Amino acid sequence: MTKTNFIYLKGKIPVRIINEPYCQKCMNPYSEDQHLCYTCANPPFEDDGWYFNEVKALGIYHNYEKIPINNLTEVVNILKFRKQKTFKKYAGDLIADGLFQLTKTYPKLIEDTNYITIVPKFNTTEVNQCDFILAPLIKKFKTAGFKIQDISNKVVRLMEIGEHKHKKFLERYDEIKGIHRVDITNLEKNKVLILDDIFTTGSTTWDLARAFKEKNAGEINIIVAGRHYPHENWPVFTEFNFDDLLLYFSYLDLHRDRKKIDKVVIKNLSIDKNRQAYSLIEGTKTDYQLIIDFENNILKHDCTDFLTDRKWSKRFCKHITKVFLQIKEDYGLDCSQNLLELIYHQLDKWVFEKV
């Protein structure tokens, strides 16, 4: 794996950077030899510009038919959808570490920046997942000597507009214009950094930047965990090694909770000539089975975690993760990696089901 193609969260979790060519304002991918994508070069608004200077993201975010396509999407999903604060803090710390590395790659994002804010919620009692990124990120900035002030409490969302991700481009912007307010009299041309989890069309951050410009803000930049790229087909990335693939399939458990995996006891493991793997795994009350048919793209297992959670997103529970670690030990690294790649490369065609 080429390290220059990745940012490693906490030095452990690889996030593939977005490679050029991409729009220098919004990171929208395109193949033409231009500075901006068509939309950024030709804003569809009659009287308004983009307000912000540029967007930088850690990497690509996308769920393909509910399947996270990469480790970054896994991390963001934990932040967005896991209810327990321990999970949100874990994901927020990882993203903050990555974004801090990003500002080292693009130092102009943070140089002479006076203020930082997250995108506010209309319901102020609702948990804002970006708070879990903001706190550790500001701590890193201050440790590095940056004097940047959090003004999130001065930013207000005036109304909720509901679900709009399936609406047309201009509909989103027309609906969202004017829903943010900044309660500061005059920002005196000071630079502002807006932090968010995902950038899709940019309608929300566009309006927030508008509200800052109304209060005489200077340059406004945006940093996000993920730049949303839609994929019509299952995207296959290369340059993964065994550890990275297993980390991905384990729902990051290899990094977050390795001890529970190490405690799993494999009682029996075999791989026959027809490339079908069978394993018997020790359980508390009864043993569990794992059957993987690599010819017909079927994985069968019967633990509760797999049946209630992991199989829907085609992820491994602690038992399956431990089996692949055992395959590596018993059959070698090449065999274990090849088998993981057989699943990953056609994951959209695999069926995960009960034994």
User: Quick one: pLDDT at residue 36?
Assistant: 87
Mean pLDDT of 32-44: 79
Percent pLDDT > 90 in the chain is 77
* Radius of gyration of the chain, Cα coordinates, nearest whole angstrom: 23
- Burial (CB < 10 A; 0-12, 13-18, 19+), residue 348, is middle
Local confidence band at 47 (pLDDT 50, 70, 90 cut-offs): low
User: What is residue 4's DSSP assignment?
Assistant: G
Residue 298: both structure tokens together? 């079927």
> Bridge partners of 9?
13
Question: What's residue 143's pLDDT?
Answer: 96
pLDDT at 3: 47
Asked if residues 221 and 213 have their Cβ atoms less than 8 Å apart, the reply is no
Per-residue model confidence as pLDDT tens digits over 143-197: 999 999 999 999 999 998 766 666 777 777 788 889 999 999 999 999 999 999 9
Q: Could you tell me the domains of the chain?
A: 3-228 (3.40.50), 242-354 (no CATH)
Q: What is the C-alpha to C-alpha distance for residues 88 and 91, in angstroms, rounded to an integer?
A: 5
Per-residue burial over 72-101, b = 16 or more CB atoms within 10 Å of its CB, e = otherwise: bbbbbbbbeeeeeeeebebbbbbbbbbbbe
Reported as a single tens digit per residue, the pLDDT across 6-32 is: 999 999 999 999 988 899 999 987 766
